[in-house]
Amino acid sequence: MSALPTSMTPLTVTVERLSVTGREGFRLDVPSLSFEPGTITAIIGCNGSGKSTLLDAILGLRPVTGGCCRIAGIDLGKAAPHHPVRRLLGAQIQGATWNPAMLVREILSVHRVVYHTQNAAILDALGIGAIWQRSYRRLSTGERRRVDLAVALAHLPQVVFLDEPASGLDSAREKEFHQILLNVRQRGGIVIMASHSPADLALSDRIIWLAKGRIERDSSLHALLMDLIGDVVGQLELSDDADIASVRSAIGPLARSLVQRGQTLIVSGGRELREALTSETVSRKAVSLSIRPSTAADLLALVSADSASADER
């Protein structure tokens, strides 16, 4: 990518004592949050945890029952439809769509009229030229996502809101998309995205884990991995129940997590666990053994497992 500006006027996004009541008794409660210029934040959590609700509330698209959200000091829920701060924002949100009969070039023409600018490098990075003459209804899921992202990003917004942005993108387009987000951060912008994508999390400076409408964790990916999982994940296949019991006894006290699936043990932890896994006592009992660094995918698996466990309780 090229021809993108290198700086912008810094804005801040704040959430103060936010409360949003949804359907079927759901309630989002966020005491306070602040998003600073030059950062990318990923919001994670199971379906129904409040990720989209939080994004919608900040954008002023959902009524709040308490507190407020402000962008550059402006509460969009109370601001006029044509308030100037809206031109500084970009959003790709769930449920938003276009007239299926519209051509992609018509959609981008509307975008250019609204924002008075359109960056060709971003359109090229998202491959918009290849679908320029096609109607929205004839686009695949991934192609529609590319159009939605172009509308959210091509006017070079200072604050970007995204809801599962990588869904439907192939690996090449995802890399191009991530380069766009890195450029937003480099220019001093703010990116806030709800995501289930490990690659999105790996790109982010900050991870906010929502669970049942409340903040479970708020930290960097590295800090969360070290705190919740450890720096290594091991997988052992064992031949019989006696070996499983013996290995569980040896490594259990050192593990942050230990899951058994049939004759396989999946375990995570720190340096002491790595040493135990490679010890003769354990390794000679294993039919197969693999050890790898922990990743964002492991954090997302933990989020999913925690949700399932909570549902069972």
Per-residue pLDDT band at 3 (split at 50, 70, 90)? very low
Asked if pLDDT for residue 312 goes beyond 60, the answer is no
- Mode of pairing for the β-strands spanning 190-194 and 159-163: parallel
Cβ neighbours, 10 Å, residue 211:
17
Percentage of the chain modeled with pLDDT above 90:
88
Indicate the burial class of 227 (C-beta count within 10 angstroms; 0-12, 13-18, 19 or more). Answer: exposed
Classify 294 as helix, strand or coil: coil
Tokens of 267: 């375990």
pLDDT digits (tens, 9 = 90+) for 265-307: 999 999 999 999 999 889 889 999 999 999 999 999 999 887 6
Task: Give yes or no for a contact between 153 and 125, defined as CB atoms under 8 angstroms apart.
Answer: no
What's residue 292's pLDDT?
96
Model-wide pTM > 0.85? yes
> β-strand 27-35 against 214-219: which pairing, if any?
unpaired
Q: Are 29 and 38 in contact (CB under 8 A)?
A: no
| Spatial distance between the Cα atoms of 124 and 121, rounded to a whole number of angstroms | 5
Question: What's the confidence (pLDDT) of residue 308?
Answer: 54
Residue whose token pair is 């039919």: 287
pLDDT, one tens digit per residue, over 130-147 is 999 999 999 999 999 999
Q: Give all domains of the chain, ordered by start, each with its CATH number.
A: 13-225 (3.40.50.300), 231-293 (3.30.70.1710)
Q: Read off the pLDDT of each residue in 244-261 and give the average, rounded to a whole number.
A: 92
Cβ–Cβ under 8 Å, residues 187 and 85? no
CA 282 to chain centre: 37
Burial per residue of 155-181, b for 16 or more beta-carbon CB atoms within 10 angstroms, e otherwise: bbbbbbbbbbbbebbeeebbebbbebb
CA angle 91, 78, 153 (to 5 degrees): 15
DSSP 8-state symbol, 85: G
Pair of tokens at residue 209 = 């884990």
